[in-house]
């Protein structure tokens, strides 16, 4: 009997040791299996999971707009502070068309064009896109900057067209374009296109050509942009750092994203690369994700962030490059005095926010963020929030601008482009990525812990029995 018990204890120790060893072996082996699978499926090549979701997003991408309705247009012309009231959201389905002109290149890159299209979503909007509001007259506000050498002529065209600094326009007109009376009055040799709008032209156009690494030779480079419109750098900022086309387009990143990593992404709409810093971990539809947010320092003044020195293009407006929260897009918008900011001037200098009434910045409502699944690098949820502003200033030679109280970077609208992984895709993702990883982790822990417990229990019992027997 004693021999049988001792034999069982020895066998238990051996089995426990083997289980512990197996659990330990599963850690590097399991990691390698997962790594090999991810490295294979993350390549942007026909037949992979990454390619299927890359060509055409499975989750609907919406762009919500809030329009700044001007409450006191006549008072502003006479020197009063603007009073604004946001109206929205007005929601459009965007980014639902597959990428076009997809070409796999010999240098392990893939090129494509991203088609632009927007379809109004009445059920997700507060009203019709034909709703009218008093808004900034884009043509009048931009004309003094575009034609600074002929202010007297511009003043005559404004009068002849019976235009003013503010006008009533529908949401659809403001966003996608309308034939403007001032532009019609200006001769064709100065301007041929008589249509203007914040995003005109948009529908039926395309963004690109983009050239990105497909990851076949190096998975650490997958989705990183190699070039845009045939160039590897931009030409807007006259600076090597600011003109870099850095990172991906934000929809995905190379696999195995660490929470200490800074994620870089390029947006043609803001004419620069920008970045997100890790904020927190959370669970999205049963999938653990890392949230990366656009930090305050991304749009900080060069005083606080020296890397932003090349984005300071207007020394007077920026108060000798000490102002924060604005990005001058004139160089990439054909000279139009368009400035980008976060909604409600989030993170902007106080004097910018105080120049108008009715804005109330909130980090929760107005910050930009990405929720990235860290193993695959796929972005499963994002919110890109931006505000479009137009700069104008008092000009004595233009009547409608002659009595303004000061220079303005005037808010026109803000947008939230957002998407969340849909339920079917989340289920597929859990089944192919999350659940197998969790199951493997549980197996590793169970085998390791069970093996150690059995080994120690049997070994200790053997030692005790041997000690008693020797005594």
For 249-279, how does the pLDDT look when each residue is reduced to its tens digit (9 = 90+)? 998 999 888 888 899 999 998 999 999 999 9
Helix ranges (H only) for 327-422 are: 350-353, 363-366
Neighbour count for residue 152 (Cβ, 10 Å) = 8
**CA nearest to 351, candidates 380, 311, 323:** 323
pLDDT in tens, 142-177: 998 888 889 899 999 999 999 999 999 999 999 999
pLDDT tier at 428, thresholds 50, 70, 90: confident
Alpha carbons within 13 A on the beta-carbon side of 409? 29
Which residue, chain included where needed, has tokens 């606080």? 304
The two structure tokens encoding residue 330: 């004139």
The percentage of the chain sitting over the pLDDT mark of 70, rounded to a whole number, equals: 84
pTM (2 d.p.): 0.86
Nearest to 140 by CA among 377, 399, 334: 399
Whether 452 shows a pLDDT value over 80: the answer reads: no
What is the rounded CA–CA span in Å between residue 121 and residue 96? Answer: 13
Give residue 149's pLDDT: 86
Nearest to 272 by CA among 211, 317, 333, 214: 333
Q: With 60 as the cut, is the pLDDT of residue 22 above it?
A: no
Average pLDDT, rounded, for the chain: 86
453: nearest Cα among 4, 5, 73, 23: 23
Please tell me the distance from the alpha carbon of residue 50 to that of residue 433, in angstroms, as a whole number. 13
Q: How far apart are CA 336 and CA 143, in angstroms?
A: 8
| pLDDT of res. 435 | 56
Higher pLDDT, 234 or 457: 234
Whether residue 3 is predicted with pLDDT greater than 60 in this model: the reply is: no
Over range 430-438, report the average pLDDT.
64
Confidence of residue 238 (pLDDT cuts 50, 70, 90): confident
Q: In the beta sheet, which residues pair with residue 388?
A: 340, 413
Q: What pLDDT was estimated at residue 1?
A: 47
| Residue in the block written with tokens 């006008």 | 167
Mean pLDDT of 300-323: 86
Q: Which of the 8 DSSP states describes residue 256? A: S
CB atoms within 10 A of CB 25: 13
Give SS3 for 364. Answer: helix
Average pLDDT over residues 85-98: 94
Rg (CA), the chain: 30
Q: Is the pLDDT of residue 442 over 90?
A: no
Q: How buried is residue 187: exposed, middle or buried, by Cβ count under 10 Å (0-12/13-18/19+)?
A: exposed
pLDDT at 211 over 60: yes
Q: Rounded distance, CA 358 to CA 406, Å?
A: 18
CB burial class (10 A; 0-12, 13-18, 19+) of residue 288? middle
**Dist CA 247 CA 269 (whole Å):** 15
What is the pLDDT averaged over residues 182-192? 90
């Amino acid at each position: 009997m004693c021999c049988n018990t001792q034999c069982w204890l020895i066998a238990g120790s051996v089995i426990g040791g083997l289980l512990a060893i197996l659990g330990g072996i599963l850690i590097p082996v399991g990691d390698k299996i997962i790594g090999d699978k991810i490295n294979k499926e993350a390549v942007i090549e026909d037949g992979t999971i990454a390619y299927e979701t890359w060509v055409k997003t499975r989750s609907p991408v919406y762009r919500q707009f809030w329009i700044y309705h001007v409450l006191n247009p006549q008072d502003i012309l006479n020197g009063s502070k603007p009073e604004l009231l946001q109206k929205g959201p007005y929601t459009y389905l965007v980014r639902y068309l597959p990428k076009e002109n997809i070409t796999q290149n010999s240098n392990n890159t893939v090129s494509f064009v991203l088609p632009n299209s927007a379809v109004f979503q009445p059920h997700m909007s507060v009203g019709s896109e034909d709703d009218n509001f008093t808004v900034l007259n884009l043509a009048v506000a931009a004309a003094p900057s575009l034609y600074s050498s002929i202010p007297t002529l511009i003043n005559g065209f404004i009068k002849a067209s019976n235009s003013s600094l503010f006008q009533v326009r529908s949401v659809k007109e403001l966003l996608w374009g309308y034939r403007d009376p001032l532009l019609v009055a200006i001769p064709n040799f100065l301007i041929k296109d008589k249509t203007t709008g914040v995003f005109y032209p948009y529908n039926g156009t395309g963004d690109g050509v983009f050239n990105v690494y497909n990851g076949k030779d190096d998975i650490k480079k997958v989705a990183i942009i190699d070039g845009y419109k045939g160039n590897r750098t931009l030409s807007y900022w006259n600076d090597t750092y600011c003109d870099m086309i850095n990172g991906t387009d934000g929809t995905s990143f190379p696999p195995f994203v660490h929470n200490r990593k800074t994620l870089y992404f390029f947006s043609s709409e803001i004419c620069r690369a920008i970045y997100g810093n890790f904020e927190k971990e959370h669970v999205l539809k049963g999938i653990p994700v890392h949230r990366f947010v656009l930090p305050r320092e991304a749009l900080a003044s060069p005083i606080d962030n020296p890397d932003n020195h090349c984005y300071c293009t207007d020394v007077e407006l920026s108060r000798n490059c000490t102002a924060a929260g604005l990005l001058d897009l004139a160089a990439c918008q054909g000279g139009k005095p368009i400035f980008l900011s976060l909604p409600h001037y989030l993170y902007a200098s106080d004097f910018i926010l105080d120049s108008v009434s009715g804005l109330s910045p909130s980090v929760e409502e107005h910050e930009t963020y990405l929720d990235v699944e860290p193993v695959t690098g796929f972005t499963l949820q994002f919110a890109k929030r931006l505000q479009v502003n137009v700069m104008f200033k008092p000009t004595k030679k233009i009547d409608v601008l002659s009595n303004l109280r000061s220079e303005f970077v005037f808010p026109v609208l803000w947008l939230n482009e957002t998407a969340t992984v849909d339920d079917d895709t989340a289920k597929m993702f859990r089944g192919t990525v999350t659940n197998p990883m969790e199951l493997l982790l549980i197996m590793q822990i169970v085998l390791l812990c069970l093996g150690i417990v059995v080994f120690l229990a049997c070994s200790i019992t053997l030692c005790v029995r041997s000690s008693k027997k020797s005594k």
